[in-house]
């Protein structure tokens, strides 16, 4: 390659790269935002729920125990105790 062509080729490459970045940046930002929203809306709550279930189960607190506690509190509330 001729040395006189290196500078114009480098400038053209930089201009093309910058143009591509400015054209693709909004698309990339939208995809990133959608991914983050998906994680916040679906994935993280599922992970937290699973972790809470594991922790409660490790203490012997099962879904049945939860229902019993709920009924107890409901009855106590109806009776005016709480």
| Confidence (pTM) | 0.46
Q: Where does residue 56 rank: exposed (0-12), middle (13-18), buried (19+ CB within 10 A)?
A: middle
pLDDT of residue 35: 93
Instruction: For 53-75, write each residue's pLDDT tens digit.
Output: 999 999 999 888 989 999 999 99
């Amino acid at each position: 390659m001729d040395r006189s062509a290196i500078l114009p080729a480098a400038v053209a490459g930089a201009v093309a790269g910058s143009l591509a970045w400015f054209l693709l940046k909004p698309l990339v930002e939208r995809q990133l935002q959608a991914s983050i929203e998906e994680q916040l809306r679906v994935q993280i709550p599922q992970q937290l729920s699973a972790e809470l279930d594991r922790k409660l189960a490790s203490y012997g607190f099962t879904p049945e125990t939860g229902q019993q506690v709920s009924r107890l509190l409901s009855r106590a509330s109806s009776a005016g105790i709480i």
